[in-house]
Amino acid sequence: MMNQELLEALCSIIEEQNDIIKAIATRLNERDDVDLIERAEELQKRKEKILGTPSEGGAA
């Protein structure tokens, strides 16, 4: 697998993991677990900065 293909495959996996993390953050928000929500939002910002992708409303 070429480097570009590998990066695209890994990015795809990361995006799916991100969707799962957003769903978890939403559920945690319902329980007012602010610390974990803030950590998830910070990781979302870091990922977007690295990948150069815009936020879709941020982490849950």
Q: What would the pLDDT profile of 9-36 be if each residue is shown by its tens digit? A: 999 998 899 889 888 878 877 777 667 7
Over residues 39-53, the pLDDT tens digits come to: 878 888 988 888 887
The pLDDT value given to residue 56? 57
Q: Please report, for the chain, the start and end positions of each structural domain, with discontinuous segments joined by +.
A: 13-49
Total-model pTM: 0.52
pLDDT at 58 over 70: no
- CB–CB of 24/58 below 8 Å? no
Beta carbons of 15 and 47 less than 8 angstroms apart: no
pLDDT at 1 over 70: no
Instruction: State residue 60's pLDDT score.
Output: 39
Token pair 């945690």 in the structure block, residue: 28
Task: Confirm if 23 and 60 have CB atoms less than 8 A apart.
Answer: yes
